[in-house]
């Protein structure tokens, strides 16, 4: 079973539309960390946000916002007024204790295509 599920394989929007990328995770730990990364066509993974399991406060950073809900094991990512430069693959990751270490496990990613 996938520990991190990103059910949306590809999303296509027109510039200025809002878009939400879904992430559902599975863990038995009470302490864990969640992340979102962006992978543009250049290939390098870019860190966007980190959340620990004890902090359910939603976060907004410019056009980006994240909604963390432990009750549904979800950590969704919304881009407001999307732009062409937002086109990339976005990965959600879960870091939980494994053999004494916290190891990030990534979802399969959601490819976002923003058309002009």
Partner 1 sequence: DTGVSQNPRHKITKRGQNVTFRCDPISEHNRLYWYRQTLGQGPEFLTYFQNEAQLEKSRLLSDRFSAERPKGSFSTLEIQRTEQGDSAMYLCASSERFGYGYTFGSGTRLTVV
**Residue list 7-46, contact with partner 1 (CB under 8 A):** 33, 35, 37, 42-46
Q: Per-residue x/- mask for partner 1, residues 70 to 99, rule CB under 8 A?
A: ---------------------x-x-x--xx
Return the percent helix, strand and coil in the chain, to nearest 5.
5, 55, 40
107 CB neighbour count, 10 Å cutoff: 23
Work out the burial of residue 100: count CB atoms within 10 Å of its CB; fewer than 13 is exposed, 13-18 middle, 19 or more buried: exposed
Q: How far is the CB of 15 from partner 1 (least distance, A)?
A: 25
* Binding flag, residue 68, partner 1 (CB under 8 A): no
Binding site for partner 1 (CB under 8 A): 4, 33, 35, 37, 42-47, 50, 52, 91, 93, 95, 98-109
């Amino acid at each position: 079973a996938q520990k991190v599920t990103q059910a949306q394989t590809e999303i296509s929007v027109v510039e200025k539309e809002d878009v939400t990328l879904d992430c559902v995770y599975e863990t038995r730990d009470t302490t864990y960390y969640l992340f979102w990364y962006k992978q543009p066509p250049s290939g390098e993974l870019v860190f966007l946000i980190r959340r620990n399991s004890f902090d359910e406060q939603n976060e907004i950073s410019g056009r980006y916002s994240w909604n963390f809900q432990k009750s549904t094991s979800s950590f969704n990512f919304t881009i407001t007024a999307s732009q062409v430069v937002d086109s990339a693959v976005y990965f959600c990751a879960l870091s939980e204790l494994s053999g004494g270490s916290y190891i990030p496990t990534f979802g399969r990613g959601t490819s976002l295509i923003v058309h002009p």
